Chain A
Amino acid sequence: MVGIRSYGGYIPHYRMNRMVIFGSMGWINPANMLNAQGEKAVANFDEDSLTMAVAAAVDCVDGFDLSELGGVYFASTTAPYKERLNANLVAGALGTEETIRTADFAGGLKAGTTALLAAIDAVGAGNANDVVVAASDSRLGKMGSAQELMFGDGGAAFLVGDQDVIAEFKGAYSTGHDFVDHFRGAETKFDRQWEDRWIRDMGFGKFIPEAVAGLCEKCGVKASDFDKVIYPCYYGRARKNLNKKMGFEPDKVIDNLQAIVGDTGVAQSLVMLSKALQESKAGDKLLVISYGSGCDALYFEVTENIKNLAPRIGINGYLARKAELDSYTKYLAWRRMIPLETGLRGEEDHWTRWSLVWRKDKMILGMQGSRCKKCGTQQFPAQRVCVRPDCGALDEMELVYLSGMGGKIFTYTSDMLAASINPPALYGTVDINGGGRFVFDYTDCVLDDLAVGKPVDFSFRIKFYDKERDITNYFWKAVPVAGGVE
């Protein structure tokens, strides 16, 4: 039986009330008032589609042995690299073996479900045991655009396999249409779209029913057989009409999170699927439809195994952890939408030495440390000579990945002088659970959240961005655990 073995989700910590955007930019496009309801999720200054995909994937594979993993697939239309396989960074952050199949999926918004189908096909054909699929987007609309209000940031991830599946894959139906409602050229940062009424009536209005009809015919089911129906479409009125047209009862149609997250692009229907799985019971029949340059429709049935899957943080967990972003200009700075004065110091060059990065790849991406076989001391970064003063053994190390260990705050500070796009910079020393200590940035928090002894989790983040060469560098930061006991 092929299907989903586990799911994970990620919604960034910061949410922005859409009126904050409208309050700054409404003057140029007052009609946006109608789009300026609710809030949208905003990736922190040190997040992008790649880090959000990693966060969702980490959530997804928590507790699973990855030594037999067959592949890592990453889907996004806002990946940091055009050339340099982004999926390899996701795999590196998960600490997988390098002898696996890794692939990026991009181009249209249905690429997320296409990645999921590719994983299902690979497992089904016996070419891979388990495959991680992670999808995430952080799309941008121009200042004052409707897209700026409608788009949100987030990601979802799934572990596809044929053992202990919690949702069995029953079938799929796909279409590909060169229907250009939204597009970005290869050199373009901001989304561009055609007329809303055309997208609504000729896009969502035609292609979603087409996909549903195709799947039902192929799998011999009726629209009314499904317990949970997932499809993107942020036109509220059109959604109601589509439900009626296709015969879906409104209470079976999963909320698109438009009011609290926004349109997460490639991840949109997968974020909804992840959330739906978090709320599903055995026997539920799920219909998942993606939209964008065509559609994929996928049919899953939840199995008894869902009771055995340890709880995930998931979309629901991350939705509950939130802080308000009340500054529109901060949002612009975080998304690199405006030129900023960072001072002469900020103009100093920080080279990325790729041959050095290659040798330290597992330390940077996977937070790989070592454990001394002689004295048992865990240490980071991996050492050849044991750091324990009364041991000092040479080359007696086994390598260990430490990103999942969590830690405790040993020291902390809030630094007004450190060059940061989000001052004050918060950082300090963290004692890694099980041994080892290192100085980390703290993120998704304020000074008041920090205290000596407080537990932290590690989160994969952008370390620094080299704008001269368009290089995004990543490393792990420490996030204080919400409600963590000191």
Chain B
Amino acid sequence: MRHVHQRLDEEIRSIGGYYKVLEEELLDFNGRKVLYVLKGAHVETSCCGEGGVGYISVPGYVSSWKSSTNEDGLAVSEVERVRGKEVQRQLRGILKKKYPYIDVIDFE
């Protein structure tokens, strides 16, 4: 799986709102490095409501770190998804301890 590293703190906008990538971190887990990304979104003009969310997405285990760049000049890493409900539960627990205020943790 390719993971494109978006520019930090830059609005990525849709018609209904925008999100920003706030932090990208590596976590030691199961003897490997797991990449997780902290993001925040504000949905301020979607057709049916207003809201927002702070969330963490977990692209996966890093198999090669920023090994290439794409056509927009953004760094690209190769990652392997974290699969399995039990492993995801463990990881969710670790992240939840670190970010108690984040309720949404996504495994992409």
- Given the complex of chains A and B, what is the CA–CA distance between A416 and B48 in angstroms? 11
- Given the complex of chains A and B, what is the CA–CA distance between A416 and B53 in angstroms? 7
- Given the complex of chains A and B, what is the CA–CA distance between A448 and B43 in angstroms? 24
- Asked if A126 CB lies within 8 Å of chain B CBs, one says no
Chain B residues contacting A345 (CB-CB under 8 Å) are 49-50
Chain A residues within 8 Å of chain B by Cβ, number: 10
Residue of B nearest to A447 (CB): B104
Residue of A nearest to B41 (CB): A416
Residue of B nearest to A344 (CB): B50
- Asked if A220 CB lies within 8 Å of chain B CBs, one says no
Residues of B contacting A: mostly: strand
Q: Smallest Cβ distance from A420 to chain B, in angstroms?
A: 10
Chain B residues within 8 Å of chain A by Cβ, number: 11
For residues 407 through 457 of chain A, which have their beta carbon under 8 Å from a beta carbon of chain B?
416-419, 423-424, 448
For residues 27 through 66 of chain B, which have their beta carbon under 8 Å from a beta carbon of chain A?
43, 46, 48-53
Of B50, B85, B100, B104, the residue contacting A343 (CB under 8 A) is B50
Chain A residues contacting B51 (CB-CB under 8 Å) are 416-417, 423
- Given the complex of chains A and B, what is the CA–CA distance between A424 and B50 in angstroms? 13
Chain A residues contacting B43 (CB-CB under 8 Å) are 416-417
- Given the complex of chains A and B, what is the CA–CA distance between A423 and B53 in angstroms? 10
- Given the complex of chains A and B, what is the CA–CA distance between A417 and B53 in angstroms? 9
Q: Write out, one digit per residue, whether chain A residues 143-187 have a CB within 8 A of any chain B CB (1) or not (0).
A: 000000000000000000000000000000000000000000000
- Given the complex of chains A and B, what is the CA–CA distance between A156 and B52 in angstroms? 40
Residue of B nearest to A326 (CB): B100
- Given the complex of chains A and B, what is the CA–CA distance between A368 and B46 in angstroms? 36
- Given the complex of chains A and B, what is the CA–CA distance between A343 and B44 in angstroms? 11
Q: Smallest Cβ distance from A421 to chain B, in angstroms?
A: 13
- Given the complex of chains A and B, what is the CA–CA distance between A326 and B104 in angstroms? 15
Can you list 13 A-B pairs, Cβ within 8 angstroms, ordered by A?
Answer: A345-B49, A345-B50, A416-B51, A416-B52, A416-B53, A417-B43, A417-B46, A417-B48, A417-B49, A417-B50, A419-B49, A423-B51, A424-B104
Which 3 residue pairs of A and B lie closest in terms of their CB atoms, listed nearest first? A417-B49, A417-B51, A416-B53
